[in-house]
Structure 1
Amino acid sequence: MENTWVYQGDEPIKIKKYLQSLGMGHRLFNDLKNGEGAFLVDHRIVRPTTKILPHQPLTIKAQPEAPDDSVAISEESLNIVYEDNNWLVIDKPVGVTSIPGPTVKNDTVLNRVKGYLIATGSSDLRPHLITRLDRFTGGLLLVAKHHIASSMISQQVQQHTMLKEYTALVEGHLNADHGKIDQPIARREGEISRVIDANGQPALTEYWVEKQGNDWTQVRVRLHTGRTHQIRVHFASIGHPLIGDHLYGGNTSKFTHQLLHASKLSFKDPFTLKQMTFTSELPMTFDQNK
């Protein structure tokens, strides 16, 4: 596996500093330097301390990661929105789990991606889920096809510069058309659910009202942090739980799962340096509530 960039700066720069500016982590750089890959400038193998000049191409070559034998292969289908050598953007259906766990081990998104990569002849068979969704939350999910891509995008994940927007149906009417919920979230010991707690992790959710009905509101939601169940916990905390969300007090008379959809995903591709933006249509269940 190899990737190439053409350096666009005005002054010579060391390979390490340049790759770090693109998002590469220290650990991956050291792995490549210590025998798991190679650095090429103008198609010649060079030392990692080499400086590259403006408009010179830099290529990194890396060995594929060993497959994770504990992840079973699933041949179930994927709804692929976008694919290139580095990324898969998937529109996940409601009811499919993101990664294997105690209750679902053999047919999660990760299992399906592994099966897809094998079927399409990929040499990298250890995909990395960059974003994850609850089992009953559908919509856009980003997968790195290999560990280089996973490392290169990690800075955007950690710094929350990757834009993730959701559409949710919540109970009642909100007091403002636009607002922020800034409340720390903590685990409940021995439980799946989370709770607002002053000693929890910082969590910030921003929302915009899009539509309203007699007893519901459709909101566009942007996550500025990535806590488990963040949207569900935050809206329940202000008295507007998601419709169908049995875990956080939502009305389940018509739906047995939360009406929440990952509707927009946008990130800067560290390989092409282009902004990549994807959207997903709402499932029919959102109309059935109205």
Structure 2
Amino acid sequence: MNNNQIKLSFPVKEQTILVRDAIKQFGISKKALTSIKFEGGKILVNEEEKTVRHLLQFGDVVTIIFPLEKKSEGLIAEKGMFPILFEDDHLLIISKEAGLSTIPSREHPNGTVANLIAGYLEEQGLSATVHIATRLDKDTSGIICIAKHRHAHHLLSEMQKSGELHRTYEAIVHGHVEANMFSINAPIGRRNGSIIERFVSAEGKDARTSVQVIRRFSMNGEALTHVRLKLHTGRTHQIRVHMQAVGYPLIGDDLYEGSRVLINRQALHAKELELEHPFTKEMIHIIAPYPDDMNDLLCE
């Protein structure tokens, strides 16, 4: 076994069960099982290698050794600094600055979070694909959660689907929001003729956002509101589109009717992340400090 291979062990709590059924209960996907069988992984029962057809007994210990991952093809590894908010063998949670894209594109193959993470993993001697579980728009600051291996990524994706991964954002919007707390349930689709812009559309995908007012204030004679937002779905530009739709666009968000007089990007920050660690089962609650541009507005 290579020291960089991920190794997980599970006690068997059934009286009798096949290895393949136990592995399914452990949350390991069919794709991962295929890679374990054919790409250099192993299945051990009480430290002896077995097949998926082996019959387990209560108290047996199943150990899964995942194959080494290949580095992301075409992804340029770059060195750079970023605030690390949490890290262990499975997860890396960082704070992203505004103006930094999460993943590269054909036109911009470097200078992104993914490039920096690839460089960071390389420095640690880890052979792994970059698995970004929670993405942010280029001009949104705050928390990004990265899985250090494909199984962790699979479990985080399942947690997102079931609503067990809780993300809280904060924003500054135009106007004094009337209700102290409300929900927006409005489907979002891509605007015709644009590869970027979204809008509320009956033909769009389900999108739900909860909004809570933190503070109403004014600056330079303009009414503003500091709001807390929780995502119940993960559509592109969801918060920006929903707040525009209810008449309170984010300041700085000129794509969705916001003014850039007070800030030169959408005033949106991924402030908190809460989840049960998929392996240790400990509760993790991460808070990312405001960046300077939003902090200057909120402390006025």
Query: How many residue pairs are counted as aligned between the two chains?
Result: 289
Q: What CA deviation, in whole Å up to 9, does each residue of 1:7-53 have, x standing for no partner?
A: 37464444444443443222212332345411112222122233444
CA distance in 2 between partners of 1:167 and 1:254 (Å): 16
Say whether 1:142 aligns with 2:150: no
Match of 1:59, SS state, is: strand
Kept in 2, the 8 Å contact 1:2–1:59? The answer is no
Q: How big is each residue's C-alpha offset from its partner over 1:169-210, in whole Å with a ceiling of 9 and x where there is no partner?
A: 111122211111000000113321101000000000012111
What does residue 5 of structure 1 align with?
9
What corresponds to 1:157 in structure 2? Answer: 160
Query: In structure 2, what is the equivalent of residue 237 of structure 1?
Result: 245
Which residue of structure 1 aligns with residue 235 of structure 2? 227
Once the two structures are overlaid, the 10-residue window that deviates more, 8-17 or 242-251, is: 8-17
Contact 1:23 1:270 in 2 (8 A): no
What amino acid is aligned across from residue 100 of structure 2 in structure 1?
V
CA RMSD of aligned residues (A): 1.9
CA distance in structure 2 between the partners assigned to 1:201 and 1:143 by the alignment? 25
> In 2, are the aligned partners of 1:68 and 1:126 still within 8 Å (CA)?
yes
How do 1:208-287 residues align onto structure 2 when only pairs under 5 Å count? Answer: 208-214=212-218, 215-287=223-295
- Distance change in 2, residues 1:202/1:148 (3 Å): same
- Give TM-score scaled by structure 2 length: 0.89
Please tell me the residue identity of whatever aligns with 1:139.
G
SS in 1 for 2:157: helix
Match in the other structure for 2:180: 177
Stretch of structure 1 that moved more, 246-255 or 269-278: 269-278
Query: Do the aligned residues in 2 keep the contact of 1:168 with 1:219 (CA within 8 Å)?
Result: yes
Name which of 203, 206, 210 aligns with 1:202: 206
- Structure 2 Cα separation of the partners of residues 174 and 39 of structure 1: 56
Measured in 2, the distance between the counterparts of 1:77 and 1:19 equals 38
Structure 1 residue runs of 5 or longer lacking an equivalent are none
SS in 2 for 1:247: helix
C-alpha distance after superposition, 1:143-186 (max 9, x if no partner):
11122222232211233321111111111122211111000000
Q: 1:156 to 1:173 in 2, by over 3 A?
A: same
The 1:33/1:69 distance shift into structure 2, 3 A limit, reads: closer
The separation in 1 between residues aligned to 2:95 and 2:204, in whole angstroms, is 31
Structure 2: gaps spanning 5 or more residues: none
1:193 aligns with 2:201: no
Q: Aligned runs of 1:18-97 on 2, under 5 Å?
A: 18-97=22-101
Identity of aligned residues (%): 31
CA contact (8 A) 1:4 1:57 kept: no
CA distance in 2, matches of 1:218, 1:270: 33
Match of 2:136 in 1: 133
The offset of 1:54, in angstroms, is 4.5
- Cα distance in 1 for residues equivalent to 2:108 and 2:17: 48
For structure 1, which segment, 142-151 or 174-183, has the greater mean C-alpha deviation from structure 2 after superposition? Answer: 142-151
SS at match of 1:30: helix
CA distance in 2, matches of 1:20, 1:153: 16
Structure 2 CA distance for partners of 1:169 and 1:23, relative to 1, 3 Å: farther
